[in-house]
Structure 1
Amino acid sequence: MKNLYHAWLSGIRSRLILLTLLSMIPVALVIIHSAVEARDINSRQAVENLATLAAVIRERVEAGHEEPLGAVEHLTAMDRAAVRTPVATLWDPEGRVLARAPDIAGPAGGDSAEADLLREVRTQGGHAGTLESAGLDGVTRGYAYTVFGSDDERRIVTVGLSTDVLFSEVDALFQRTLLLLGAVFLFALGIAWLLGEVAVRRPVGRLASAARQISDGRLNVRVGDIHGASELTTLAGAFDRMVENLEQYEQEQEATQQKLSRSRDELEEKVRERTDQLARASDAATERAASLERQRKEMTVLNELTDLLQSCRTLDETRAIIQRSLGELFAGLSGTVYLFSEDGHSLERITGWGEYHEEHPDTFAPDDCWALRLGRTWVYDPEARNPACRHDGNSEIGSICAPMHAEGKTLGVLHVAGGAHGVSPGESAGENERLVDATAARLGLALSNIRLREALRNLTIRDPLTGLYNRRFVDETLEPEVERCRRAERPLSVLMLDVDHFKQFNDTYGHDAGDVVLVAVAHLLQKLFIGAELPCRLGGEEFLVILPEADGDRARDRAEELREAIAELALFHQGRSLGTVTTSVGVATWPEPVSEPDALIDA
């Protein structure tokens, strides 16, 4: 019901009818007020007629023209046509009914002191008045009363008329007025409905329909000419003009939007291009910074490597340093450092690092390396046409070979492998090639200096004929070796070897034959004593072998092994057999029985 109520109120015609009803309310109130006033006037007139009749009855009784009963009956009968069956009663002060006409409540003379009518008259008081009360017959009437006479002979006259009769004409008039008012309301509602339908609802409905279609995006809708109120006609014209302006505005907006869209696309394209340029510039700067940082680290490692290599005395000392430094420099790659052998016929592994270096050979011929053939760096790519070096242990991965030069000579080759082009993650082949070249150059100079220092030192501590360590080396080494064994709480032994009848060899076969014997013994010593064992030539036919951490028994066993091996030598010189070579071997052991290191040689 509530929804229906709101739906009804939402219509223009409904609101017009409601407005009509509201406007007629004051008229209805005026009409109803006039009817009520007319009813009150007629009621007062009827009551005044009753009061007049009561006054006339009092005058006739006071004048003594008739008996009280006759006066009452005569006047009520005379005025019945005017007041429609009035009931008149004459009372004495004690409440007895002296006369009544018509006598509808029983014969006169009865005691009615307790009657409601008489009690209300006494209560109201005064010589005259009107009231509404139940009569002696219990019927409610409107009464007029009057009191006259002296205190001893006081009389009360009441004249009443039934309320239905009293107000019948007034009520009939009031009902006719209400019916007329209702008819006027219905007529006004019909007129309002008709006006709302023709002049308001239909034009407004067209406007509403057009508005809904326009809200759905159909801007080609027009209201056109409508018949109705002039305001609605004006509104329809203004509405059509508004829609035309809106349609034009939409077209302009669409054109503007297209231009803005094109401009936005062009701007976005420029922004993307600029962003790409900035991104490329940023990436380039980042790569440049990363490259500079890598180069700085590379230079740091290379400088440290160079400093350490310059401090090395032998090639053996360089192995661990090169392995650690190049493993850091070429992280993620593998590699091997090769040097030419002393005879220059092959290249020998010095050290290596990484995952694949074990696959590289220990030695190879110079012709097996394209870098040594061409005298320049050689880059092998499995997907390119350059062939792999024969010494490359794995041809499925890329590699770089760089010759190591020093003082115009080729000292060896640096071989780096691991991944396509021998490139570590995040680096290009060109950068790795540059780094390999720089490293090979540093290694070539450093290793060349070390070899030169070794050669110079060998001239001072090596015997030129046999290649064994000489007396100077023994003097420099024996005492430190004894000290080292002392710290380790281990013994140290020496073997003193003297070739028997060496002067006879020289005298019989010549000094050249003697040199053959000395060289043969020296080679045997180098073969039998390796590692920490140090064979030396003291001079002439005398040899010495230092045996660190060897006790006397071990030394004697080695001495016997040496003597037997020398005795088995078969030596020839210029096609002549030199016969059997025999030697005398002495053994001395520190700290027992020799307690002083200096006495080991003299023992």
Structure 2
Amino acid sequence: MTLRRLLLLAQLPFWVLLVAAFVLLSGALDARVQATEQAAQTRATLTGIGQVMQHVVDLETGLRGYVIAGQLEFLEPYEAARAALPTELAVLDGPGRESQRLGRIRGLIDRWQTEVALPEIAARQRSEAEAGGLVRTGQGKKILDAVRAEVAAYRAGQTQRLAALDTAASAQLRRLRLMLYGVGGAALLASIIATLVSAQRISRSFGRFTAAAQRLTDGETGVRVDTRGPTEIQTLSGAFNHMSGGLELAQGLARTHADTLAARNEWMRRLGEFGDWMQAARSLEEGARILECALPELLPGTRGTLLQHNASRNLLLPLAVWGGETGTATPPDGCWALRRGEAVTPGADRLAPACLGGPGGTYTCVPLFSHGETLGIMRLRPEIEGTGLSADLLAVLPGIVRQVSLALAGLRLQDRLLQQTIRDPLTGLFNRRRLEDELDTQTAHATASGQPLSLIALDVDHFKRLNDTFGHDAGDAALVRLSAALRDLAPPGSTPARPGGEEFSLLLPGHDLAAATALAERLRTQIAGWTLTHAGISLGQITVSLGVAEYAAPLSTPSALVRAADEALYSAKRQGRNRAVASQPLNPEAWLALTPG
């Protein structure tokens, strides 16, 4: 026997009771509805007869007003009531509504119209006295009293009929309520008995599943249940046994996924460690070294190049390479990834051509952006040519690119902020702070290594007069031109700086006093040959005075070196300007004057 048939047989008494209850309740409900409809019709009839009586009153009122006043507007209630009465009486006429009495009421109203209303209206049109005489006969009052009596009798009959209908409806409602209670109780009892019987039989079958499920919950493997019982129980037992086998397989897959997740967590840990190291970097050069160590680990099985975008040169310059790649500068306009703003794999993508200046073979270009700024590209190739990047690597590549982009953006921002703190905003040369730091570093190096170190101090002659004559804009233009010449003439490793105002300095590691003096003279000669103009106005000849000093005993401190160069500069000023003067050997008293106490 199937479980469906077992349940159907258990519920059969309940369904029989439901059908019987439906038949009984349907009959009782129809009787209740009929009684209610008849009561509603009777109430409507009472309302209608009341409306008829109101129209009769309006007839009498309108006629009386006209007889008294003689004005036609007093007949308006009379005319309205006379027009409405036929419709109201027609609505009331019908089976079971005392048609004979309604006929008598209609006849009395017509008689009052013919014998009373029309003669009095005609008489009033002739004279008030004649109309009054007709009224005093009392004929109209007799007829209206008869109408009122008939209406009262009609209303009494309908009221009595309504009371009978209400009594019948109440009786029907009581019978319906009792029937509902009886049928509902019987149905509930039958349902409870059928449910208990069915539940007892089914619970025995499902008890085996409960015990088996508990064993599975306790971690037991190889759990199976007996397949005895109804057909559905047998099917369910087979499904449970199949599920138990599938659960064993799923547990094995879960262990595999757990291992995969552990590997992914390890990768995330390495990515977080990479982010920490990049945050600790203080320059792009440091960041590049970290990238060259981290990218082969984060992107296993690849070789590639990370190129940063140099906006001033409009080039993609190699920043980090790994896997034996060689990076070359390429124009950004030739990279399809930067144009489209998405990763591009020329050759693998159906429509993607090779990048201009890109490497041969299969590679993938991934653009690096941060806050709308183009940072560069990451160009990847499989370690073994002819193979593609793995699906796992492509899945984690966006996260790596995002982390690298944020790190590069932070390092570039640090570089910009650093340049703002160590560079003079007008000329682009190093400022006093950077010059002092370099003095400390280079003097320490010179002391340790014995290498020569010299300092050139430079001042523009009569610069105040230039500002007063041509304005500060012309003075700034002259300073910018002079700083460009100083930067071009400065050898590699030197530090050209503008300590302030019209003063410039050039720190020369590896140059002795003679070499530094020759360099100062070459700079002076070059500047003296200029003829500057600004805004179409000639600024005339500009000259500079230079002082040169070498870091050697007794000038064994940075401040003493600076003071010696300044003293040589002042000497050039005193000797007539437009000249380079080298610092002379100092006697002990002069050396003490240059050395801070």
TM-score (norm 2): 0.47
Report the structure number with the largest CA radius of gyration: 1
User: Which is richer in helix?
Assistant: 2
User: Which is richer in strand?
Assistant: 1
TM-score (norm 1): 0.47
